[in-house]
């Protein structure tokens, strides 16, 4: 099969298209003929040498795919063969075939194309487990999403709106601000023009939950604007993970500061998230109440351009590779 590979860590120029062996599945896995693979920030980090795959996991990039099941392990009912699915992977998605444990294989929601479905798993799993399992986000609460125009950001805003949450977001330019506000998803702050902490304090807005991908100097600002019993959830540290901060607000307001990664979780944990998504979110996708925000679709041979576009921070929504 053809796959995107790289020999050395570096920028997008290290990515190559090569012929390699198809994956061999075990008794609890399926083999998927890949229609498309989602592109995510962890792919960039892994390619750059900052996010190595867990032991025993494929070194090929790609944490989510969509396609048709062509082979199943002996513990799996053969009725799933030829089914159209999307799947959360631990790696190996940038290829013509990918293997996946059955616990994170999902049906493609009705009304969603097979190609577009590849953008669901990583983003929706991440949003659901962080906002609803971990942060216990509730109706009528207020949330702030940093990086609101990212795939994670737009998904978080879209789902939170459907659960009756008041939404705010930070973005890096006016085009992204106008896009999010035109969709009715959130009130936005362009962080290059305005200090979000100052804005919220001046308007006496208190935030119950913050989903942060930035880190760095945002940490102090985040805990300063959180409401009593607020929750700060960190899922990335684009501006660095080392900070000097005054932690007194955490005590005085009884805040919860947490973080998580998805890739290293057990199959059972991921299956629980999958079941919640199918029950609570799939109906919202199928009714078009929750949208998939896809910015660009690339043929896999143009993977370098896709990575460069993501690294330029221009995208509003997800990027994907078609196979």
Q: What is the CATH number of the domain that holds 248?
A: 3.40.50.720
- Reference 170, options 181, 162, 161, 160; nearest CA is 181
Question: DSSP state, 192?
Answer: T
Is 250 in the same domain as 314? no
Which ranges in the chain belong to alpha helices (H)? 41-48, 121-128, 151-162, 174-182, 196-202, 218-225, 248-252, 267-276, 282-286, 303-311
Cβ neighbour number for residue 120 with a 10 Å cutoff: 26
Is 108 in the same domain as 77? yes
- What's the pLDDT score for residue 256? 97
Which ranges in 61-184 belong to alpha helices (H)? 121-128, 151-162, 174-182
Is 247 in the same domain as 203? yes
Which of 6-10, 51-55, 106-110, 177-181 is the least confident region? Answer: 51-55
Domain of residue 202 covers 124-259
- What's the pLDDT score for residue 33? 98
Given 259, 280, 301, the domain boundary residue is 259
CB neighbour burial string for 4-39, b if at least 16 within 10 angstroms, e if fewer: bbbeeeeebeebeeeeeebbebeeebbbbbbbbbbb
Are 259 and 235 contacting, i.e. CB atoms less than 8 angstroms apart?
A: yes
- What's the pLDDT score for residue 260? 85
3-state secondary structure (DSSP) of residue 142: strand
pLDDT in tens, 218-274: 999 999 999 999 999 999 888 889 999 999 999 999 999 999 889 989 999 999 999
- Reference 298, options 22, 11, 64, 94; nearest CA is 94
Cβ neighbour number for residue 254 with a 10 Å cutoff: 10
Question: DSSP state, 129?
Answer: I
Is 149 in the same domain as 242? yes
- How are beta strands 16-19 and 84-88 bridged, if at all? unpaired
Report yes or no on 158 lying in a domain.
yes
Q: What SS3 string covers 245-281?
A: CCCHHHHHCCCEEEECCCCCCCHHHHHHHHHHHHHHH
Is 193 in the same domain as 301? no
- What's the pLDDT score for residue 238? 84
Is 250 in the same domain as 310? no
């Amino acid at each position: 099969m053809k796959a995107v590979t790289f020999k050395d860590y570096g920028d997008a120029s290290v990515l190559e298209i090569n012929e390699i062996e198809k994956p061999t599945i075990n008794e609890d896995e399926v083999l998927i003929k890949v229609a498309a693979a989602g592109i995510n920030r962890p792919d960039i980090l892994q390619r750059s040498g900052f996010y190595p795959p867990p032991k025993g996991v494929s070194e090929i990039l790609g944490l989510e795919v969509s396609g048709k099941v062509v082979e199943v392990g002996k513990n799996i009912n053969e009725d799933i063969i030829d089914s159209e699915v999307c799947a959360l992977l631990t790696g190996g998605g940038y290829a013509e075939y990918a293997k996946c444990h059955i616990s994170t294989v999902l049906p493609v929601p009705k009304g969603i194309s097979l190609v577009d479905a590849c953008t669901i798993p990583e983003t929706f799993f991440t949003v659901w487990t962080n906002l609803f399992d971990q942060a216990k986000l509730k109706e009528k609460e207020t949330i702030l999403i940093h990086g609101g125009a990212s795939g994670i950001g737009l998904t978080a805003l879209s789902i939170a709106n459907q659960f009756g949450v008041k939404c705010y977001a930070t973005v890096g330019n006016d085009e992204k601000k106008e896009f999010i506000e035109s969709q009715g998803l959130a009130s936005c702050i362009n962080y290059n023009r305005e200090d979000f902490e100052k804005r919220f304090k001046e308007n006496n807005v208190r935030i119950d939950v913050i989903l942060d991908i930035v880190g760095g100097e945002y940490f102090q600002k985040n805990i300063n604007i959180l409401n009593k019993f607020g929750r700060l959830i960190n899922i990335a540290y684009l501006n660095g993970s080392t900070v000097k901060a005054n932690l007194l607000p955490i005590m005085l307001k009884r805040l919860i500061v947490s973080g998580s990664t998805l890739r290293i979780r057990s199959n059972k944990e991921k299956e629980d998230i999958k079941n919640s998504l199918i029950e609570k979110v799939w109906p919202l996708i199928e009714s078009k109440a929750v949208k998939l925000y896809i910015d660009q679709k690339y043929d896999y041979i143009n993977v370098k351009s896709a990575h460069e576009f993501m690294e330029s921070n221009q995208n509003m929504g997800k990027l994907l590779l078609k196979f």
